[in-house]
Structure 1
Amino acid sequence: MTEPLLDGVALHRAFSLVAERLQRKGVVGEIHIFGGAAMVLVFRSRLATRDVDAVFTPDGAVRDAADHAARLLGLPRSWLNNQASGYVSRTPGRGVLIVDHPHLRVVATNPEHLLAMKVRAARAVRDADDIRVLIVHLNMLSLSEIRAVVRRYFPDEPLSARSVELVSDILREVRGVVDGR
């Protein structure tokens, strides 16, 4: 069975239910989102995402509230997950505020951090379109600019050959569009 996709409206509804549940419990939570959900909510470059990759706190209360929202909306329990937390920089910087509720703040990671994460992952099918959108958004047209961004967030991890190849291909394509070719 295919998991339901979460568009912007569904994501906001789910976050609203999480906020309501946290409020009933007297807890203030924070969710820092990455990946597809950020692309849907901030850049509107995708119509929907399968899940929300995030880091959240307090873990137990937010997890409970997310499970409650999943039951009410018919979503899988994994709609909000922290599986990508191992790929997040220790210093992700300030993000874009998505939800500002007295009991829940949802912040999308900043575009440069998201670009660094996507470039490191370099999954041609899953990340190429997002990398393209972020490169254009950030007006970056050189590999050295992108290397500098990745180095800022992941200083001890050089780009893989796969990352360099994917980014170089995308840059050639983007520069061709910018140059009017």
Structure 2
Amino acid sequence: MKKNEILLYFDIMNEKLKERDVSAYVNVYGGAVMCLVFNSRDNTKDIDAIFEPESVLKEIAVDIANEHKLNKDWFNDEIKLFRPETTNNKLFKSWSNLRIYVPAPEYMFALKCYSARFGKSKDLEDMIYLVKYLEIHKFSQAVGVIEKFFDLNQIRGEVREFLLEELGN
């Protein structure tokens, strides 16, 4: 999904919420944030989110998937496995019945390090982008950001090695 498609689907989601007279919020993470906020990617395969009311938004997501021939997991809450923080998220965009929130860049970097998958994922590219965006020049600076949110021992060894290789001490 491209940025304009993500925004279109949120617009449709808002209309469907309005029809039901329901208000909702969505905390967005992952590749969708990289597209929407940082414009560092052209697209993302899905929208990782924590949202309320869950059951209503899941129903609406299925409707949108069927109407627009999207993958059934285009809008999902699998990110909950990583227990992301939502309290400090900032409002990104608001409609009549829908509010979209995104994490601070520092938290996004720490979460990417915590949840990174190597291989087909774009997590490494995202980490490199966020290192530059946050002006992190040393491994110790990266550790300082990560440790604001996670215990360094929770970060996989290969991620730590990658950051050490990219940044040096």
1:175 corresponds to: none
Which runs of structure 2 are paired with 1:103-122 in the superposition (5 Å)? 103-122=97-116
Please, what TM-score do these two structures have when normalized by structure 2? 0.89
- Structure with the largest fraction of helix: 1
1:146 to 121, 142, 146: 142
Q: Indicate if the aligned counterparts of 1:128 and 1:170 stay in contact, CA closer than 8 A.
A: no
- Superposition TM-score, scaled by structure 1 size: 0.84
The one-letter code of the counterpart of 1:68 is D
Q: C-alpha separation between the residues in 1 aligned to 2:69 and 2:45?
A: 13
Preserved CA contact (<8 Å) 1:122 1:162? no
> Of residues 157, 167, 171 in structure 1, which corresponds to 2:167?
171
Q: What are structure 1's unaligned runs of at least 5 residues?
A: 1-5, 173-181
Show the counterpart of 1:10.
Answer: 5
Partners of 2:131 and 2:152 in 1: CA distance: 22
Q: Is the 8 A contact 1:115 1:134 kept in 2?
A: yes
What SS is found at the alignment partner of 1:53?
Answer: strand
Q: Does 1:102 align with 2:103?
A: no
Q: CA deviation at 1:92?
A: 5.5
Q: Deviations over 1:60-118 (max 9, x none)?
A: 11111212221221112211000111213345522351x20120011222211111111
